[in-house]
Structure 1
Amino acid sequence: MNNPFPTIGAHAPLQRDLAATPPVVRLRHVRRSFDGVVALDDISLSVQPGEILGIIGRSGAGKSTLIRTINGLERIDAGQVEFDGQDITGLHETALQPVRRRIGMIFQHFNLLSAKTVAENIGLPLKIAGEARAARNARVAELLELTGLRDKANAYPSQLSGGQKQRVGIARALAAKPLLLLSDEATSALDPETTHSILELLREINRRLGLTIVLITHEMEVIRAIADRVVVLDHGRIVEEGSVFDVFATPRSETTKSLLRSLRPSLPAHIAEHLDVAGGAEIVLRIDVSGDAARRPLLAEAATELGLLPRLLHGGIDHVGDQPIGTLFVAVPAPGPGDRARILRHFNDKVSGLEVLGYVTDPV
């Protein structure tokens, strides 16, 4: 499969008992509407310490509203929002300020001050908080090193590339040593190569600092590259939730399947136009495989156990972390109804998804 954003690290299971760990964020039955239009509809979710949670959905799904409820920028109509064990649902603005200082935020369009240098932009939250100059400068120096911007300290935003500007935004978000980092479409304005470098930086920050990250995106490539877990939104509701591998391997909702379509191979048009639904010499199958099934010699097993020679028409194997996942399009000789039933039974026991696409009479 074509992967513009290579996998960053391995999506190994989190090394702790998440069920026994208090969440950094917990939303309970959150609802929010604007002029009668529902933006969030009974949202309940938790974000565990040290994980990277990806929230994905199409435009208008409620992603931005959801992320803004976490730091109290968006007031909810019903439900409860907890941060680090504290109910922040009804806090007034003054009481919310110390909460927000523990939540870093990075944005799609960087939001840098053009008249301030890189170092000044990074140190601004600390200056506003009244941090002493020496401590502020020391922290800025740490963050310049962490984000690879040491030689850009005195540069202005107009002198930076898009990727460098986003690194400044990340450094600024980390200035006050937050417990949580929120990323609002932070890579949407970047090219694929720069996106990869920014995601690599975020994964490294997560690993080195143990920082919890919640990112929203409309790109499944971003989810695959960095997230441990994913929440799929559609019209303000959670339609799917789980580990990235599980959701990619066996998507349940139509929304998820649609979002994954660009990452999965499809039957080439010149083959699809030759398909016959009535019958033919070969049955054409779509086979989804993941985990151990993707490591097996499926076609060789079929040839041995069925006594038939399958042909690989199209497809491929990709990886989510260190786990293989793929889609294969296969043509198998099926001269009679009994053969077709036998073929389907054989593959159905070995794969995660199986679909009969049609039949062909001549090789395509």
Structure 2
Amino acid sequence: MVLAETGATGAVVRLENVERRFSDRPALDNISLELKRGEIVGLIGRSGAGKSTLIRCLNGLDRPQAGRVIIAGQDITGLSEQALNPVRRRIGMIFQHFNLLSAKTVAENIALPLKIAGQPRAQRMKRVMELLDLVGLADKAASYPAQLSGGQKQRIGIARALAPEPLLLLSDEATSALDPETTQAILELLKDVNRQLGVTILMITHEMEVVRQIATRVLVLDAGRIVEQGPVAKVLASPQAETTRSLLRGLSPVLPADIATQIRAEAAPGLQALLRVDVYGQAARRPLLTGIESITGRPARLLHGGLNDVQGEPYGRLFLAIGTAEAGAVARVLAQLKPETTATEVLGYVPADV
């Protein structure tokens, strides 16, 4: 079997209503998704959410009890182990703990999948040296894993995963064993690999910060179900699922305690409505304060929050005191903001001098 570069829909991966249960517990519960050529997609969820089961279904190590797993246009759900081998060669795996063979050199580790595939030695070594140059370790071919740092080991793991020229790269918690500086370097390497080779990357992680840095789209998995998905910036700007909000704690701005303690539940003279405003895309760059002032006739103030950027898409959360607590004016401000924002909420009322 020869795999097409993409399926009929242009998808490298397509899952259709996939279900996998262990006893009576659903590990994957009616999962449908697509990964297109050249995408970097983050799959995020807590431990036990079903991430590992999904990976095993993608590479054929586990078989769903219902639904279809389609890789590059080929339904692999019912394939024999022998028929799965060409598929698995087009799926690279990057592991949390590197999984390098300690008794083999760096070059031998990278060449291993090519050797298993029966590629001649001269051709294997040419590919190995190309990949070592790509990951910035051209001088480490004769070294052994024990002589490498954690970041270097992961670079070798990436090179090995790329050796058979995969269409799909699965990164399974690839940075969770690394320090922050090394994590950043590995993520930059993966972005370079994606740009240069056009390989589709699925980043499996429990860290939203990793997704924020590298992915353009995110899927949130909880109890075997995709509970939220969309462009990373949009999901960060206004998470809808409680699981997503929990995973985002620490990344989304929250009101400082000295402001939060002054919030009152009811409007009163001398107070101003306090709004939480979530923005995404071009709306994040529009002059919201000027628009509010045109309605209330009073200056609106930014008390906290700010804008960030994900792969060129702006998003942010702003906490605004709008200069008035009068119900009609607050309602008009909310109506004006609605088409410009992903979510707006009146948190309460604060003193004018807060």
> 1:244 aligned to 232, 236, 246, which one?
232
Q: Tell whether 2:36 aligns with 1:48.
A: yes
**Aligned letter for 1:181?**
L
SS in 1 for 2:316: strand
After superposition, the C-alpha distances for 1:311-357 in whole angstroms (9 at most, x for unaligned) are: 22111110122221111111223253333333333433533221111
Shift of 1:257: 2.8
Q: Distance in 1 between matches of 2:178 and 2:226?
A: 27
Shift of 1:64: 1.1
Q: Tell whether 2:85 aligns with 1:87.
A: no
Q: Distance in 2 between matches of 1:349 and 1:76?
A: 42
Shift of 1:250: 3.8
Tell me the residue number matched to 1:128: 116
Q: Distance in 2 between matches of 1:234 and 1:132?
A: 45
Please list, as runs of the form range in 1=range in 2, the aligned pairs for 1:17-96 lying within 5 A after superposition. 21-96=9-84
Q: Distance in 1 between matches of 2:283 and 2:252?
A: 17
> 1:337 aligned to 319, 322, 327, which one?
327
**Aligned letter for 2:241?**
S
**For residues 338 and 23 of structure 1, do their structure 2 counterparts lie closer, same or farther at Cα, with a shift above 3 Å needed?**
closer
> 2:350 aligned to 335, 352, 360, which one?
360
**Aligned letter for 1:350?**
E
Please list, as runs of the form range in 1=range in 2, the aligned pairs for 1:256-295 lying within 5 A after superposition. 256-280=244-268, 281-295=271-285
**For residues 42 and 132 of structure 1, do their structure 2 counterparts lie closer, same or farther at Cα, with a shift above 3 Å needed?**
same
Shift of 1:73: 0.9
Structure 1's unaligned 5+ residue stretches are: 1-17
**For residues 307 and 171 of structure 1, do their structure 2 counterparts lie closer, same or farther at Cα, with a shift above 3 Å needed?**
same
Shift of 1:248: 2.9
Q: Distance in 2 between matches of 1:150 and 1:363?
A: 61
Q: Tell whether 2:101 aligns with 1:113.
A: yes
After superposition, the C-alpha distances for 1:10-46 in whole angstroms (9 at most, x for unaligned) are: xxxxxxxx99743222211111112321100011112
**For residues 291 and 83 of structure 1, do their structure 2 counterparts lie closer, same or farther at Cα, with a shift above 3 Å needed?**
closer
**Aligned letter for 1:122?**
I
Q: Name the TM-score, length of structure 2 as normaliser.
A: 0.92
After superposition, the C-alpha distances for 1:295-314 in whole angstroms (9 at most, x for unaligned) are: 12222332344211222211
Q: Distance in 2 between matches of 1:361 and 1:179?
A: 57
Structure 2's unaligned 5+ residue stretches are: 1-5
Q: Tell whether 2:171 aligns with 1:183.
A: yes
Q: Tell whether 2:183 aligns with 1:199.
A: no
In angstroms, what is the RMSD of aligned CA positions? 1.9
Q: Tell whether 2:301 aligns with 1:311.
A: yes
After superposition, the C-alpha distances for 1:214-251 in whole angstroms (9 at most, x for unaligned) are: 22111222222222322211110111222323333343
SS in 2 for 1:333: coil
